[in-house]
C-alpha cells in the first residue's frame, strides 16, 4: 500500500500531465513519427508568422473593396487675412492662396475674418472593371499567402521527420558501437592477461588499448550525433532535448512498398507557384482596366463668411468669423489622363515579363522536384539492395572475427588480424542496424519530393 507521500507525488504527476503535457514528454510516453510532426506544426513560430501574413493579405481584400464606397470630404476653415486681389491667371500650384472677389485698386494692410465649411461627396458609378480586378488580385494575394503557409507547414513536416529518423539512426549506430566497445574491451583484457603472464609482448596490450579507444571514440561520435539530432527536433517541438523519447513504430521493420511514379500536382511548392502566376495575371488585368476615363457623380454643399464687402469696406470686428453664405451643387465629372498610356504600357510590359518569370520558375520547380524524385528513388533502390545483402555480410564478418580470435588464442594468428576483424564486424553491425531504417528514410525522401508524406507517416507510426 502506498504511503501519503507516494499518493501525493502521483496526484501531482497526474495534474502536471493534464496541465503541462509538454513537460512530461519524455516520461509519459514516447513520440511516434506522426506525433512528432504534428507537434512541430503546432509549435514552430515560422508557421504562426506565415499565418499572420495571411491575415495581412485578407485585410488587403477589405481595403480593395472600399474603392466601391463613395468618398466624402469635409472641410472647415478659419483665417484672418488681407483682401488685396488682382486680375490675371495663376497656374495651378500649392504656394499662393486663391482670393475670391473683385480686384482691389491699392495694396492695403486691412485684414478681415474669413471662414468656410462644406462637404463634397464623390462616387464612381462605373469603372470598366478596375475595382473588381483589384479585389480579385487581393483575393489571389490571400491565396498565395495561404499556399505559402501550406508550403511552410510541409517544410517543417519534412524537417521534423528527418530529425526523427536521424535520431533513430544515431541511436542504432550508438547501440552497435557499444557492442563494438564491449568486444574490444573483452579482447583487451584477454591480451593484457597474456602480456602480464609474459606469453605475449607488451606492444600487443598497447595495440588492443588503442583499438578499444578507437571503439570508444566511435561510440562517442554516435552519441554526439544523437545529441545534435535531438536538439534539431527539440527546436521544432519547442521542448527540452532531454525530454524527447521516441517510439520507432515500424521504422525498424522491413518495408518494401513501391512509391508513386510521379510528383503530385498538389505539392505545396507547385501550388504556391501556380497561385503566383495567377496573381501576376490579376495584376496585369488591373493595368488593362486602368486606361479608361474616370467618371464621378459629385454633390457639394458649402458655406462661407467674410468680413470684406463688395464696395471694399469691412464689416464689424466679428464679421466673417462664421459662415453666412451657402451654396450647393450636383454634377457629373469625367477625368482622363491621356498621357498615362505610355507609362501604363511600360508597366504592363514589366508585368508580362514578371508573369513569364513566374511561369519559368514553375517549370524550374517541376524539373527540380522530378530530379529529387529520381535521386531519392536511386537511393531507395540502393538501400533495398543493401538491406538484402547485409545479412550475408554480417554472417561473414562474425565468422571472420570468431575465427581470427580463435587462431590468436591458439597462437596461430596475429593481433592485427583480430583487430581488423573486430573493426569490420563493428562497422557491419552498424550497417545492419541501419539497413531497414535507411529503406524507410529513402521512402520518405521519395515521398517528400513527390509532395505527400501523410500516408507513409501513418504506416510508419502504426504498430
Residue 247: helix, strand or coil by DSSP? coil
* Per-residue model confidence as pLDDT tens digits over 147-204: 888 888 888 888 888 889 988 888 888 888 898 899 888 888 888 888 887 777 878 8
What is the largest distance, in Å, between two alpha-carbon atoms of the chain?
136
Q: Are 72 and 298 within 8 A, CB to CB?
A: no
The residue with cell 536538439 is 231
Give the 3-state DSSP-derived string for 256-269, with helices as H, strands as E and coil as C. CCCCCCCCCCCCHH
Cβ atoms within 10 Å, residue 148:
20
Plot region of 122 (φ>0 → left; ψ -120 to 50 → alpha; else → beta):
beta
CA dihedral (232, 44, 263, 141) in degrees, to 10, reads -150
| Averaged pLDDT, 79-102 | 86
CA 231 vs CA 24, 167, 226, 239, 311: distances in Å: 17, 10, 9, 9, 89
Domain ranges across the chain: 32-63+132-280+346-461, 70-125+296-335
Residue 313: helix, strand or coil by DSSP? coil
Indicate the pLDDT class of residue 297, thresholds 50, 70 and 90: very high
Nearest to 211 by CA among 446, 416, 454: 416
Q: Are 305 and 324 within 8 A, CB to CB?
A: yes
Plot region of 216 (φ>0 → left; ψ -120 to 50 → alpha; else → beta):
alpha
* Rounded Cα distance, 327 and 325, in Å: 7
- CA angle 255/166/451 to nearest 5° reads 60
Indicate the pLDDT class of residue 430, thresholds 50, 70 and 90: confident
DSSP states of 263-297: --TT-HHHHHHHHHHHHHHHHHHHHHTTSSPEEEE
Plot region of 314 (φ>0 → left; ψ -120 to 50 → alpha; else → beta):
beta
Q: Are 93 and 120 within 8 A, CB to CB?
A: no
Rg of the chain over all Cα atoms, to the nearest angstrom: 40
Q: Are 290 and 341 within 8 A, CB to CB?
A: no
Residue 36: helix, strand or coil by DSSP? helix
Q: Are 42 and 160 within 8 A, CB to CB?
A: no
Q: How many helices (H) and strands (E) does the chain have?
A: 10, 4
Is residue 20 predicted with pLDDT exceeding 80?
no
pLDDT at 256: 66
Which strand (E) or helix (H) includes residue 423? helix 415-450
* Per-residue model confidence as pLDDT tens digits over 35-80: 888 888 887 787 777 777 778 777 888 878 888 888 899 999 999 8
Helix axes 130-196, 340-409, angle to 10 degrees: 20
Nearest to 308 by CA among 293, 319, 298: 319
pLDDT at 259: 67
Highest mean pLDDT among 95-99, 258-262, 360-364: 360-364
Nearest to 244 by CA among 15, 35, 460, 459: 35
| Averaged pLDDT, 267-294 | 90
Residue 338: helix, strand or coil by DSSP? coil
* Rounded Cα distance, 428 and 390, in Å: 8
| Averaged pLDDT, 95-113 | 84
Whole-number average pLDDT of the chain: 83
| Averaged pLDDT, 407-422 | 83
Burial 368-379 (b: 16+ CB within 10 A, else e): ebeebbeebbeb
Name, in order, each residue with C-beta under 8 angstroms of 65's C-beta and a sequence gap of 6 or more: 135
Choice among 23-37, 198-212, 227-241, 434-448 with the minimum mean pLDDT: 23-37
| Averaged pLDDT, 228-245 | 86
Higher pLDDT, 127 or 353: 353
* CATH class assigned to 32-63+132-280+346-461: mainly alpha
Amino acid at each position: 500500500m502506498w504511503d501519503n507521500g507516494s499518493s501525493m507525488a502521483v496526484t501531482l504527476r497526474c495534474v502536471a500531465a493534464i496541465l503541462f503535457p509538454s513537460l512530461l514528454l519524455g516520461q509519459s510516453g514516447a513520440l511516434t513519427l506522426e506525433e512528432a510532426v504534428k507537434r512541430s506544426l503546432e509549435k514552430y513560430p515560422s508557421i504562426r508568422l506565415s499565418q499572420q501574413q495571411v491575415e495581412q493579405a485578407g485585410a488587403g481584400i477589405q481595403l480593395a473593396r472600399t474603392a466601391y464606397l463613395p468618398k466624402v470630404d469635409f472641410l472647415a476653415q478659419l483665417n484672418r487675412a488681407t483682401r488685396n486681389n488682382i486680375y490675371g491667371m495663376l497656374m495651378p500650384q500649392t504656394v499662393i492662396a486663391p482670393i475670391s472677389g473683385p480686384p482691389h485698386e491699392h495694396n492695403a494692410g486691412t485684414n478681415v475674418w474669413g471662414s468656410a465649411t462644406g462637404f463634397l461627396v464623390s462616387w464612381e458609378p462605373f469603372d470598366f472593371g478596375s475595382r473588381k480586378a483589384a479585389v480579385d488580385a487581393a483575393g489571389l494575394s490571400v491565396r498565395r499567402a495561404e499556399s505559402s503557409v501550406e508550403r511552410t507547414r510541409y517544410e517543417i513536416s519534412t524537417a521534423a521527420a528527418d530529425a526523427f529518423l536521424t535520431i533513430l539512426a544515431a541511436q542504432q549506430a550508438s547501440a552497435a558501437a557499444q557492442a563494438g566497445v564491449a568486444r574490444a574491451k573483452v579482447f583487451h583484457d584477454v591480451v593484457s592477461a597474456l602480456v602480464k603472464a609474459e606469453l605475449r609482448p607488451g606492444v600487443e596490450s598497447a595495440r588492443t588499448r588503442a583499438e578499444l579507444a578507437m571503439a570508444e571514440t566511435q561510440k562517442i561520435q554516435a552519441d554526439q550525433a544523437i545529441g545534435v539530432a535531438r536538439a534539431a527536433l527539440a527546436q521544432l517541438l519547442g521542448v527540452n532535448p532531454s525530454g524527447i523519447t521516441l517510439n520507432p513504430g515500424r521504422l525498424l521493420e522491413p518495408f518494401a512498398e513501391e512509391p508513386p511514379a510521379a510528383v503530385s500536382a498538389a505539392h505545396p511548392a507547385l501550388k504556391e507557384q501556380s497561385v503566383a502566376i495567377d496573381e501576376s495575371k490579376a495584376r496585369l488585368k488591373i493595368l488593362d482596366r486602368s486606361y479608361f476615363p474616370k467618371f464621378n457623380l459629385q454633390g457639394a454643399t458649402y458655406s462661407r463668411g467674410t468680413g470684406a464687402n463688395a464696395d471694399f469696406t469691412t464689416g464689424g470686428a466679428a464679421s466673417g468669423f462664421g459662415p453666412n453664405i451657402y451654396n450647393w451643387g450636383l454634377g457629373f465629372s469625367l477625368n482622363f489622363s491621356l498621357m498615362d498610356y505610355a507609362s501604363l504600357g511600360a508597366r504592363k510590359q514589366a508585368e508580362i515579363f514578371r508573369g513569364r518569370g513566374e511561369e519559368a520558375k514553375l517549370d524550374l520547380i517541376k524539373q527540380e522536384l522530378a530530379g529529387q524524385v529520381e535521386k531519392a528513388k536511386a537511393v531507395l533502390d540502393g538501400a533495398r539492395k543493401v538491406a538484402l545483402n547485409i545479412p550475408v555480410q554480417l554472417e561473414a564478418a562474425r565468422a571472420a572475427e570468431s575465427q581470427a580470435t580463435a587462431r590468436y588464442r591458439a597462437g596461430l594468428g596475429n593481433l592485427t588480424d583480430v583487430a581488423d576483424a573486430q573493426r569490420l564486424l563493428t562497422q557491419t553491425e552498424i550497417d545492419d542496424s541501419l539497413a531497414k531504417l535507411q529503406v524507410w528514410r529513402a521512402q520518405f525522401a521519395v515521398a517528400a519530393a513527390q509532395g505527400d508524406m501523410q500516408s507513409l507517416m501513418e504506416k510508419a507510426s502504426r504498430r
